Amino acid sequence: MLTAILGSGATVTFGCRGGGCGTCKMRVISGHIDHGRYSAAVLPEEEKTSGWFLSCQARALSDLTVELTAANKYRVLIWWRRLNSRGFPQR
């Protein structure tokens, strides 16, 4: 999930990318995921059952709508927008 977000030219908050620190936590609104391997210390069972997952470890099994934590921010990188709209990064 995180790789797909970063690969789309957007950025979100993330940390260790190993499922250990919990920084990249998100919540499924609709759709299905495989949680992958993650630390139960940062994603306890009750959070998991209410839809939370670690985006650096989870894989999408369908189209997804997700919610970010209050501390997180989805930003599309400006250079990526320019690259896609004009074919070459402009100043």
Element (H, E) at 2: helix 2-7
Q: How far is the CB of 18 from other proteins (least distance, A)?
A: 3
* Closer residue to other proteins (CB): 20 or 51: 20
* Closer residue to other proteins (CB): 54 or 66: 54
Q: State how far the Cα of 3 lies from the Cα of 26, in Å rounded to an integer.
A: 14
Binding site for other proteins (CB under 8 A): 13, 15-21, 23, 37-42
* Closer residue to other proteins (CB): 40 or 70: 40
Element (H, E) at 33: strand 33-34
